[in-house]
Structure 1
């Protein structure tokens, strides 16, 4: 390799243009092969760029230097001087290579270079040579949207003026006669809009920068000027795009659609205020809503024929952007229907099969734009499509969208019926389970398909989210439609969410019979929703009557819940998993109306109380190997809690349970701990039986909480299936949180909180928890996104009588669920921790990316 570099160096130092070009081509070939030829950088810069040489050699030398890591002493002033002089080189190819090298330069060299070369850059943008115009457009489109350049422009008025001029020229070049130059200008505008809209950190600069107020104002001004140009020249731009090649047409879609959306929704006025926050002379757009609607309709009419194109990426790009236009004020559901139908046709296209996840995500996130009938018709097909997705995160996000829309459609349809409108068939949540495959999965006991667990978990979590009031935003984006707005509870009763939730618990009832190889998360979700509904309707007190002030709807719902409880009690005999059986017993017995049982059926084996107690007996005396390996102690603990609360509520239940617990204490199935707990429960039941007026000692009011979750149990009793449960829980919660409560962008915060508001995040408390054994932890936490750290302050209290040589502290984001096991700094070993007379304060810090917020 040394001989080859020496030979190339010799050829570069010769004055023969042919030898120099051959040597440069050989160096580029070696560089492309992954070999280190950085030793040639200085020779190429000195002998080719700084010395008189041919245009071909200069261009090859610039291409070589762009591909090599350059030493700092070579960059300034040798290379900058060469680049600066080559900009005015007579050969446009040399000038094009020079300007194409600008994006690869370090940030600190750009202000002086761009300021001194602004005249040459403007000349390149107006050059008669197509290659030079294209190189200038490509270079500036990579350079100007970058974070570092926006920060420089916010502190350098001269550079800001030059950059604004260049952006104006780039917008004009969208009408250039050369197809490649026009496509490059459209791509530059699209990149500017995406950087401002998505608030993404640019990776082009090589480092991640935190935007300031000035940088946001700079980008807002550029974007507002570009939007004004596109909107005012939209007819000319549409005509220009119609004569472009099909392969270049795709890059022209997003800038046109984005500009139309910003004008129609009024966001462009916000951008102007952000660009000049102290300027009170800025007025809203004087265009009428009719003019805006006509402009948006013109763009839709322009894009509509391309939905039937034979190029799948073009169909997808046009469809996605038409969905964005369907969501602006005045948008039509027909536009969304045409776009979604076109996107769905790509599902079976072989050349687009790798993008199935993208297809599903695009459709489900825009379901609310469709009319009611099409939403209902799509649910079943979408479930089959989601089932075939490979990535769990994609399935969770899609299921969350489908479940939310189905619940909102159900609410909307029920409210329409209350107002006297004709009911629409298929709008209830139960219709999600009418498909044969979904119904078979739901009713199968030993199915190995994870999709059914994901569907039930997503549906139940969406019910809980629907019960929470969400803050309304002024410009809520995709929530502006009536179906989407239902998620915010606007105009509807506080308990209306319980009606679709009742449908959910009824149709998902077979899930308690599932054998999921130890996984319980989906069934836990179901039981948690059941307990919440029983608490809301107070099923302990039985079905209310009209004389007691109950409405017809309340009586109907309470009757449905009581029938569901009775059916679940009968299902207890078919449940062969002690874990599920014990938790179902707790969920039912805590909220069952024991006083409403017929005393004449006390000896009947079909009596609900007799069925419950017989199943409690099975769990207490279950000693097979499978129960032992699956942490039988959890099941026994749940049954003992049920026995205490059930026996204290009802005299007959207390009498039967006393016999069971006495028998259990005397058997070999109980260890010393459970014998002691059984004795305590028996004392409580005995006291309540003898003192019925003081029953409050053993009975607590039902709280509606479900105490069995992975946060408290699996950290103590680890199981092989618990990891899958925690993974599913994390995916569901993340998808639901992103969908129902998405983190607003800085641009959205400025729109909703006012232009004068600070858009940077303040340090905030983060829900971290710590655990240690046998110590007690008090903690408070602070997360500072600007500093990029989460600080956790722990106070460790030794509650034992002994001096502890070592205590292991484990810290997670939400209890045991998000413990960061395996990372060296998540476990701190505290040594020589004495008794509780001494407190130790510990401060632990992590870099923010180590914690999933």
Structure 2
């Protein structure tokens, strides 16, 4: 190995460009093999970087530097070599020197680019496409970085130079060279994405965030670039169309971000962050709403053909996602969203895009509210099957939350439309979500191993509770200010009637109480929580209200449905698989069932609801199965004893039947001293 390294060093010291490049390639191979090449890197810095050499040798030497660590004095030598190369007459050598700027440590970077300001600026005016490409690509990476923003905070001269370079990068989007134009679009897109990620990080309460000055600096760059793209949007769209098709994708994000920022008014927020919203600057982008809408419409017309004609899945997805962003601005049209979503959904079965199924579902479900009613309804069942096939639980839960919220809002809107005398829209009821054979089979199967059915029930219930909360106030349009589903239809008033779809949810999801979920009870607990909430709201203990009591026809109908559901759940008690769930269901029903409304002539009938409840209380009290996955005997017995106490105090017949049960349990060996004492206290009352 020492002989090989000595040979490489000898070749590096030679003045033969071929031998030098061969030696550098060998050194890179040793680095890739994991060997320590610090000795070779030192020789490369001294013999290649700090001395005149061919462009290819310089480039290989810089690649070698990137693959190892250098000491501070070697970095000084590298910086000296870069300064010399920036003045070198061969533009390819200068391009190689420019490319290493991104690897310079932060503590050296500020001084180097300040000292070489003129040389760096002159690179933008070079006649060499390669040099313009190198400076645009390298500065596009460096200038969006956090460390450079921090350097600009403390150096106003550097800030002015960097701001000017951003303007030059923006102008390079219209460069005659396709490669330069593409990399300029990428650089501007990177600036926008960095800004958005930092802003969302601040909103999320992240402690590792930029200072106010850093945010102001970055916002200033973003606002000036947004203004440039907005003013030159037609030229930029024309330039993007003559790029090679594989480069078109890079042009989408900068155009869409800038146009949406102007059309949605978020540019004003960005300007406030940049502290540059003085009277002179504030008027630079004053546009009437019609002009803003035309600008958005032009970009949509520019992008739409690629959804239908492109064969590249990644381009279809990029264009589709960005058109969805535009559909969300004031004046956005549902057909923009529907065209995009249809195009994105076609990628589901594309083999070359199979690894991105989570991205497809996320893109569709988070933008459901942009679609018109009929398309939302047609997508629900298809989306459920797609979500069912996702691997990650977090992806499934997020998608189901979006689908369930939107489905409930659509149901509310459809019911309100019928009340107003409009025709009912088929497929808007919650039951239609379960029409698919596979999902219906999952719902009614007792021992299915599918987690999806539990997630679906839990999300439906949680969405009902979310509907019951006051709706957030909708401010300016934007991805971060969206509210649940069908607010696009103005159904805010419908939230007052949230109990109607909630009642449908508890009816449809009734089979969940029979599930054997291997000890998991989250979905069933959610279901029972919603059931109890509805029983409280409709006061089912007192029976169905009458018209003369002031009840409306809708209220009478809903209370009747809920009473019938309670009786069906009582019958389901016999089929509940685990004592743990049985106890919880007994508690939920016995607290709220209308005991006075039971037929006294059926007192001896085994099908009488009260007799079924008491027989199941008996079953829990005398249960000898102590497996942890099905029961927590101490907790279950305590719960049914409390049920017995409250049930007996509400109804005389229930009290008589429960006295026998408690006496029998009290004298049984299964009752411990605490249970016996509790039974004695209940019987005394």
TM-score (norm 2): 0.95
Q: Is this contact kept in 2: 1:644–1:681, CA < 8 A?
A: yes
1:64 and 2:64 matched: yes
Deviation string 1:112-145 (CA, Å, 9 cap, x unpaired) is 1111111111111221111111111111111111
**Structure 2 CA distance for partners of 1:280 and 1:648, relative to 1, 3 Å:** farther
Spell out the pairing of 1:129-528 with structure 2 (5 A cutoff).
Answer: 129-199=128-198, 210-276=209-275, 279-283=278-282, 285-308=285-308, 309-478=310-479, 484=485, 486=487, 491-492=492-493, 495-528=496-529
Q: Deviations over 1:449-491 (max 9, x none)?
A: 2211111111111111111224324225248789736399974
Distance 1:310 1:579 in 2: 55
Alignment CA distance shift 1:458-1:419 (3 Å)? same
The separation in 2 between residues aligned to 1:631 and 1:54, in whole angstroms, is 79
Alpha-carbon distance in structure 1 between the residues aligned to 2:504 and 2:488: 18
Aligned partners of 2:142, 2:247: CA distance in 1, in Å?
A: 21
Structure 1 residues 657 and 566: alpha-carbon distance in aligned structure 2, compared to 1, 3 A threshold? same
How many pairs does the alignment contain? 678
- 2:172 touches 2:181 (CA, 8 Å); kept in 1? yes
The alpha-carbon distance between structure 1 residues 181 and 209, as it changes in their structure 2 partners (threshold 3 A), is farther
* Cα pair 2:472 2:483 within 8 Å, conserved: no
Take 1:85 and 1:126, find their aligned partners in 2: how far apart are those partners?
Answer: 19
Number of the residue aligned with 1:841:
none
Give the Å deviation of 1:57.
Answer: 2.4
Distance 1:283 1:243 in 2: 34
Change (3 A) 1:569 1:267: same
- 2:204 aligned partner: none
Cα distance per residue 1:76-114 (max 9 Å; x no partner): x32211112111212222211211111112212121111
Q: Is the 8 A contact 1:201 1:209 kept in 2?
A: no
Give, in angstroms, the shift of residue 429 of structure 1. 1.4
Task: Mark the runs of 5 or more structure 2 residues left unpaired by the alignment.
Answer: 202-206
Cα deviation code 1:602-635 (max 9, x no counterpart):
2222221111001110111111465897432232
Change (3 A) 1:493 1:51: closer
Q: Residues 653 and 209 (structure 1 numbering): CA distance in 2 closer, same or farther, change over 3 Å?
A: closer
Say if 1:412 and 1:483, in contact at 8 Å, map to a contact too. Answer: no
Structure 1 unmatched runs, 5+: 203-207, 687-853
- Conserved? CA contact 1:578–1:635, under 8 Å: yes
Distance across 1 between alignment mates of 2:78 and 2:629: 74
Quote how far apart the aligned CAs of 1:503 are.
Answer: 0.6
Instruction: Mark the CA change 1:615 to 1:431 in structure 2 (over 3 Å): closer, same or farther.
Output: same
How many angstroms does 1:147 deviate by?
A: 1.3
d(CA) in 2 for partners of 1:489 and 1:599?
49
* Structure 1 Cα separation of the partners of residues 496 and 579 of structure 2: 34
Q: CA RMSD in A?
A: 2.1
Matches of 2:200 and 2:34 in 1, distance apart?
A: 29
1:677 pairs with 2:678: yes
Length-normalised TM-score, structure 1: 0.77
Q: Is the 8 A contact 2:583 2:636 kept in 1?
A: yes
Greater strand fraction, Structure 1 or Structure 2? 1
Q: Deviations over 1:176-231 (max 9, x none)?
A: 111111110000011111111122799xxxxx953011111111111111111111
> Do the aligned partners of 1:303 and 1:318 also contact (CA within 8 Å) in 2?
yes
CA deviations 1:216-252 (Å, max 9, x no partner) are 1111111111111111111111111111111101111
Cα distance in structure 2, aligned partners of 1:473 and 1:100: 47
Map of 1:791-830 to 2, 5 A cutoff? none
- Match of 1:427, SS state, is coil
Closer/same/farther in 2, CA of residues 245 and 52 from structure 1, 3 Å limit: closer
- Looking at structure 1, the residues matched to 345 and 101 of structure 2 have their Cα atoms a distance apart, in angstroms, of 42
Residues 657 and 134 (structure 1 numbering): CA distance in 2 closer, same or farther, change over 3 Å?
same
Distance in 2, matches of 1:499 and 1:88, equals 76
> Which range moved further: 536-545 or 336-345?
536-545
Change (3 A) 1:403 1:624: same
The alpha-carbon deviation at position 680 of structure 1 amounts to: 2.8
Would the aligned equivalents of 2:373 and 2:410 in 1 still touch at CA under 8 Å? yes
Change (3 A) 1:487 1:261: closer
**C-alpha separation in 2, matches of 1:133 and 1:124:** 6
Q: CA deviation at 1:584?
A: 0.4
